[in-house]
Amino acid sequence: MDRLEAMAMLIEAVDSGSLSAVGRKMNVPLPTVSRKIADLESHLGTRLLIRSTRKLVLTDAGAAYVSVAKRILEQVTEAERTAAGEYSAPRGDLAVTAPIVFGRLHVLPVVTDFLAHYPEINIRLMLCDRNVHLIEEHVDMAIRLGALPDSSITATKLGEVRHVVCASPSLLAAHGVPETPNSLVMLPCISHDFLPAPSPAWPFRKPGTKAEIMAPVRVRLAVTTAEAAVDAAIAGAGVARLISYQVAEAVARGASQIILAQYEPEPMPVSMLHAGQGILPLKVRSFLDFAAPRLRAAIAAERLNPGREAR
């Protein structure tokens, strides 16, 4: 059995939605296509496709296998081109995911510049605040905030961002600037997880140590997005706890002020992840080499200029 050919047929079947379309594209009789995919399933000892009269559906094992098979075929193609001395421009489809606000502020500008430099690459940019599973959801690259679990995923660190607490100058003028986290209970606060705990509390760190402080807060407004929390804080509705890049613009123009900076928790790492092992597909390597230094520069500039803290 030619496993590479069977992989290619399986991938084409998934992309086109039918075995007959594979046969037409690859100029192979339909029974041959069906047999080769069945032989691949027999070799693996698992079902990859569920066939019906209307469509093909990948099993869980099939989805994981197709994701890896795509990378294998890309690497084989690139290895052949390299061995033959053939020049090849990066090409193909690239899926990238990032947190919503970080993606809009920092990743999208990099993506648009990248597309201008690489006209044969198309990008699907998924902005969402959940951790997308790279293999199961067929995503090539992810920008992720926070500590990473040990796994087979390869990570490149881009920098760090801060958890900050901020409020409008008008609110601070009316209520005074809190000097300790426990003082926050005297001020109205804004939550952007929409489902605050019965007795909500925000984490801080005792200055000069790693000891955590959980400060109770009085949530008067709960919203579903960070953008809404920023706008509400600017309007004076309360104190908000946000990630530094989410409020950087408002702080820079004086519409919001950072408070309790000396009590901030440890900065949160920002990483770029990909699931590939060994030689990366050229399109993935090109995006990594292009995006990483630009995102590092953007994060560093924001971290060096975090905004004025209220006094």
Asked whether residue 177 carries a pLDDT value surpassing 90, the answer given is yes
At residue 44, the pLDDT reads: 86
Domain with CATH 3.40.190.10 in the chain: 92-162+268-304, 163-263
* CA 244 – CA 215 distance, rounded (Å): 19
Q: Which of 76-80, 150-154, 211-215, 273-277 has the highest mean pLDDT?
A: 211-215
At residue 278, the pLDDT reads: 58
Asked whether residue 150 carries a pLDDT value surpassing 70, the answer given is no
At residue 151, the pLDDT reads: 62
Structure tokens at 68: 């890896």
Residues 114, 121 contacting (CB under 8 angstroms): yes
Asked whether residue 38 carries a pLDDT value surpassing 90, the answer given is no
Domain 92-162+268-304 is found in CATH 3.40.640.10:
no
Is residue 225 helix, strand or coil?
A: coil
Tell me what percent of the residues of the chain surpass a pLDDT of 70.
Answer: 88
Domain with CATH 1.10.10.10 in the chain: 3-83
Asked whether residue 277 carries a pLDDT value surpassing 70, the answer given is no
Is residue 245 helix, strand or coil?
A: helix
* CA 240 – CA 176 distance, rounded (Å): 15
Tell me what percent of the residues of the chain surpass a pLDDT of 90.
Answer: 47
The phi, psi pair for 164, rounded to 5°, reads -120, 155
Residues 12, 21 contacting (CB under 8 angstroms): yes
At residue 86, the pLDDT reads: 41
The CATH number of domain 163-263, selected from 3.40.190.10, 3.20.20.80, 3.40.718.10, 3.40.50.720: 3.40.190.10
Residues 143, 99 contacting (CB under 8 angstroms): yes
Here the contacts of 56-65 (C-beta below 8 Å, separation 24 or greater) are 56/13, 56/14, 56/17, 56/18, 56/19, 58/14, 62/10, 63/135, 63/136, 64/135, 64/136, 65/10
* CA 240 – CA 245 distance, rounded (Å): 13
- pLDDT tens digit sequence for 201-231: 999 999 988 899 999 999 999 998 889 999 9
- Give, rounded to a whole angstrom, the gap between the first and last alpha carbons of the chain: 73
At residue 19, the pLDDT reads: 83
Q: 40 falls in which pLDDT band (50, 70, 90)?
A: confident
Q: 84 falls in which pLDDT band (50, 70, 90)?
A: low
Query: What does the mean pLDDT of the chain come to?
Result: 85
Residues 246, 254 contacting (CB under 8 angstroms): no
At residue 303, the pLDDT reads: 63
The phi, psi pair for 18, rounded to 5°, reads -160, 150
Asked whether residue 87 carries a pLDDT value surpassing 60, the answer given is no
Count of other CB atoms within 10 angstroms of residue 79: 11
Beta bridge mates, 309: 258
Residues 62, 47 contacting (CB under 8 angstroms): yes
CATH no. of 3-83: 1.10.10.10
DSSP character at residue 172:
H
* CA 273 – CA 16 distance, rounded (Å): 28
CA 242 to chain centre: 18
- 108 CB-contact burial (10 Å; exposed 0-12 / middle 13-18 / buried 19+): middle
Residue identified by tokens 């990630």 is 243
Asked whether residue 261 carries a pLDDT value surpassing 90, the answer given is yes
